[in-house]
């Protein structure tokens, strides 16, 4: 049985063996250069085929992938060769671009850099033309060229005094090699977006290792590079469905490390912008995996001090989740209250704005579950000595949906808010806040005057009770002081006076 199976397997023909040996023999008689090789004639049967081509070395690409692949002289133009050879010329030009140049010194611009730049421009134009269907060797060559040029270790960060890699007030740092990197990124983006690219073939080379190294590049301090990476990663996520769970997990790990370990990363805003688009495409009902991402990754992102860099993107992601499932509003608001800032007024303003957006999407049932802790926190914001925080908290009443929620639950919310309004009207220093406080009191009065009066009577009773308690404490302390004074003379007679010690001065 085994012999029958083996006998049916295809065997390599003698013709191909002789052709391979002829190609290798001819390579020994050719003159080599750094950019390509021109082959000599070895026979009438293959003269036309090997006039300008040579077998690619197995050292450049694996033999299993490069079987039957021929590299054309890379200095040739795509217009000067036939269509069957354009794939081989494409690979040869990619191989030429694997040489890494030093762009740290702008005065050292060499002819090699100019040649590489011109070659990259030709490759971008060729991919943009859409006239080719790339095979596996071409995909492998593309991934290798991108890995050589893009994947690198960034220098140490000298901004040690900031809590994040790129704070809001820092000047962005630009990579001196961006003119070269931009062409490579543009080529990779057009290649990934190519409509005829076979995802089943490309996924063998655009694998998990390739994606992880792409994610590492989000640490770049150049915002132009992070913007290109954002677009490329989004295209990879859309084209390779098999890699989607891995991308989500890898990004989650980056967020975990940022929140719980380093609080340093330059690309959190870009990663969240990608996920904002991804979350909007989640199917309903949401998977448990997606809910865990919200609770374990997105909500803890409110903790770092550098939230101002990415808060807009974070709010968009959170709102997308609440829009998909309103029951998640309870978890999100509890997370906001957990990480609510106490001494950082600018961060508190961001939290109030995000809270308003979430409450605007919350239904009555979910609102009633969290309205007590929410309006306790809002009451504190109304009394804030920072006028912007107090003013922003008052402006919540301008939102019609939130005002409707308050109106239907006024018997619970009024008693929580009224003491803060009363304290503002008596003690707050800012005139704008005083005016807003009076407007809300007037609104409450028009809404339910009896409830407002009841809250006022209750506040007066509580104040009188506080005054009575203060008087009792004062009397208790006076009694203790009187009792202690009665025993003081006897105690002072028994204790001899203590002379102050003379300090010793060392000479």
* Averaged pLDDT in 10-residue chunks for the chain of 507 residues: 53 42 38 37 36 34 48 76 85 88 64 86 90 87 94 70 47 80 94 90 93 95 94 95 95 96 93 95 93 96 94 96 94 96 94 96 94 96 95 96 95 94 92 95 91 91 92 94 81 55 52
Sign of CA dihedral 283, 289, 295, 301: negative
| Distance of alpha carbon 291 from alpha carbon 285, whole angstroms | 10
| Distance of alpha carbon 500 from alpha carbon 497, whole angstroms | 10
| Distance of alpha carbon 63 from alpha carbon 65, whole angstroms | 5
Q: What is the pTM of this model?
A: 0.77
| Distance of alpha carbon 313 from alpha carbon 431, whole angstroms | 34
As a whole number of angstroms, the longest Cα–Cα distance in the chain is 130
pLDDT at 105: 61
Q: Which helix (H) or strand (E) holds 71?
A: strand 70-72
Helix axes 223-239, 268-280, angle to 10 degrees: 30
Contact assessment for residue 220 and residue 266, using Cβ atoms and an 8 Å cutoff: yes
pLDDT at 109: 59
- In the DSSP assignment, the letter for residue 268 is H
pLDDT at 490: 53
Q: Which residues pair with 223 in a beta bridge?
A: none
pLDDT at 35: 39
Torsion of CA 454, 460, 462, 464, to 10 degrees: -150
| Distance of alpha carbon 19 from alpha carbon 137, whole angstroms | 20
Computed on alpha carbons and rounded to an integer, the radius of gyration of the chain in Å comes to: 36
| Distance of alpha carbon 243 from alpha carbon 240, whole angstroms | 6
| Distance of alpha carbon 56 from alpha carbon 67, whole angstroms | 9
**Distance from the first to the final alpha carbon of the chain:** 107
Tokens for 1? 């049985």
């Amino acid at each position: 049985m085994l012999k029958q199976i083996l006998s049916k397997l295809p065997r390599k023909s003698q013709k191909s063996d002789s052709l391979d040996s002829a190609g290798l023999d001819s390579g020994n008689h050719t003159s080599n250069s750094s950019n390509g090789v021109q082959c000599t004639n070895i026979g009438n049967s293959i003269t036309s085929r090997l006039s300008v081509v040579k077998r690619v070395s197995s050292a450049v690409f694996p033999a299993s992938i490069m079987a039957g692949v021929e590299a054309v002289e890379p200095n040739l133009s795509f217009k000067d060769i036939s269509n069957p050879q354009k794939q081989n010329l494409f690979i040869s030009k990619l191989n030429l671009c694997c040489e890494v140049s030093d762009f740290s010194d702008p005065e050292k611009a060499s002819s090699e850099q100019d040649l590489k730049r011109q070659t990259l421009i030709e490759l971008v134009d060729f991919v943009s033309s859409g006239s080719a269907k790339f095979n596996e060797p071409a995909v492998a060559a593309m991934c290798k060229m991108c890995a050589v040029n893009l994947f690198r270790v960034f220098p140490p960060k000298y901004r040690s005094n900031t809590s994040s890699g790129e704070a809001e007030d820092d000047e962005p740092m630009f990579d001196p090699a961006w003119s070269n990197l931009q062409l490579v990124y543009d080529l990779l983006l057009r290649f990934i977006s190519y409509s005829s690219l076979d995802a089943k073939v490309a996924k063998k080379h655009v694998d998990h290792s390739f994606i992880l190294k792409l994610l590492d590049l989000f640490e770049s301090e150049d915002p132009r590079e992070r913007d290109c990476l954002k677009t490329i990663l989004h295209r990879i996520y859309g084209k390779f469905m098999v890699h989607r769970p891995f991308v989500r997990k890898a990004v989650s790990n980056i967020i975990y490390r940022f929140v719980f370990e380093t609080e340093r990363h330059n690309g959190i805003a870009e990663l969240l912008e990608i996920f904002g688009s991804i979350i909007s495409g989640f199917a309903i009902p949401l998977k448990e995996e997606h809910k865990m991402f919200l609770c374990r990754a997105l909500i803890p992102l409110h903790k770092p001090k550098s939230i101002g860099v990415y808060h807009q993107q974070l709010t968009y992601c959170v709102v997308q989740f609440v829009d998909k499932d309103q029951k998640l509003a309870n978890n999100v608001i509890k997370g906001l209250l957990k990480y609510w800032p106490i001494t950082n007024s600018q961060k508190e303003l961001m939290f109030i704005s995000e809270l308003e957006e979430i409450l605007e999407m919350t239904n009555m049932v979910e609102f009633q579950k969290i309205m007590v802790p929410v309006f306790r926190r809002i009451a504190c914001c109304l009394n804030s000595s920072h006028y912007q925080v107090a003013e922003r908290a008052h402006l919540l009443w301008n939102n019609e949906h939130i005002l409707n929620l308050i109106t239907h639950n006024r018997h619970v919310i009024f008693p929580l808010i009224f003491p803060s309004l009363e304290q503002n009207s008596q003690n707050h220093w800012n005139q704008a806040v005083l005016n807003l406080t009076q407007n809300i009191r007037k609104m409450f009065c028009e809404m339910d005057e009896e409830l407002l009066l009841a809250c006022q009577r209750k506040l007066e009773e509580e104040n009188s009770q506080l005054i009575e308690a203060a008087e009792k404490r004062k009397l208790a302390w006076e009694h203790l002081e009187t009792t202690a004074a009665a025993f003081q003379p006897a105690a002072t007679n028994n204790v001899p006076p203590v002379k102050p010690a003379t300090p010793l001065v060392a000479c």
